[in-house]
């Protein structure tokens, strides 16, 4: 496994090793000892996933305390991480990644960072490990096209939920 620091402090791109032969492939997607040895000392308590159709954009979402380890179990999606930590010298900076069921990449997202994804294939399965149990209280949403962040998305008119359309948490 390769652990790559990104331009955003605390965000790490993980590239798991994949073994392939005539039967198919095998990838270990998480090994606590290996992650801890490489500086990811996060105790994950829950695994979740969402299924989306092509052109669905979910996010940008986050909260103040949850670490997330994101990967793609099916399809391919465009993934954005945005630093919204008030007072951070990197406030407003963002980075994008393409995650797929063939590259097996993972992205570690720290607390107080927003993240969102756009489905690029007919169906995607977005999977994430969380360091905290989900609570709607404390969640925030940043509108995907907020002009102050100038995030580039490979689509002009994505399919959005009410929460994402309004750019704020809607319970």
The pLDDT, as a whole number, for residue 169 is 56
- Annotated active-site residue in 128, 133, 134, 144: 128
Q: Does residue 156 sit within a domain?
A: yes
Number of domains in the chain: 1
The pLDDT, as a whole number, for residue 171 is 39
Query: How far is the C-alpha of 85 from the C-alpha of 83, rounded, in Å?
Result: 6
Model pTM?
0.94
104 an active-site residue? no
The pLDDT, as a whole number, for residue 80 is 98
Query: How far is the C-alpha of 39 from the C-alpha of 27, rounded, in Å?
Result: 21
Domain CATH for 33: 2.60.120.10
- Annotated active-site residue in 30, 61, 74, 169: 61
Structural domain harbouring 104: 2-166
Q: Does residue 144 sit within a domain?
A: yes
pLDDT along the chain (171 residues), means of 10: 97 96 95 96 97 97 97 98 96 98 97 98 98 92 95 96 80 39
| Of 118, 75, 74, 111, nearest in space to 96 by CA | 118
Q: Does residue 54 sit within a domain?
A: yes
133 an active-site residue? no
In this structure, what token pair is assigned to residue 114? Answer: 């927003």
The pLDDT, as a whole number, for residue 136 is 87
Contact 97, 61 (CB under 8 A): no
Q: Does residue 171 sit within a domain?
A: no
Q: Does residue 142 sit within a domain?
A: yes
């Amino acid at each position: 496994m390769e652990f790559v620091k990104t331009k955003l402090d605390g965000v790490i791109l993980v590239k798991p090793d994949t073994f392939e032969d005539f039967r198919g492939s095998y990838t270990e997607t998480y090994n606590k000892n290996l992650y801890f040895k490489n500086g990811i000392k996060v105790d994950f308590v829950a695994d979740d996933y969402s299924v989306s159709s092509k052109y669905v954009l979910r996010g940008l979402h986050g909260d103040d305390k949850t670490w997330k380890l994101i990967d793609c179990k099916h399809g391919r999606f465009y993934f954005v991480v945005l630093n919204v930590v008030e007072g951070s010298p990197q406030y407003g900076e963002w980075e994008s990644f393409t995650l797929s069921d063939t590259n097996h990449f993972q992205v570690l997202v720290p607390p107080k960072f927003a993240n969102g994804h756009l489905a690029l294939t007919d169906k995607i399965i977005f999977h994430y490990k969380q360091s905290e149990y989900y609570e709607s209280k404390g969640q925030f949403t940043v509108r995907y096209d907020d002009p102050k962040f100038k995030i580039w998305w490979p689509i002009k008119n994505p399919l959005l939920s009410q929460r994402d359309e309004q750019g704020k948490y809607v319970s």
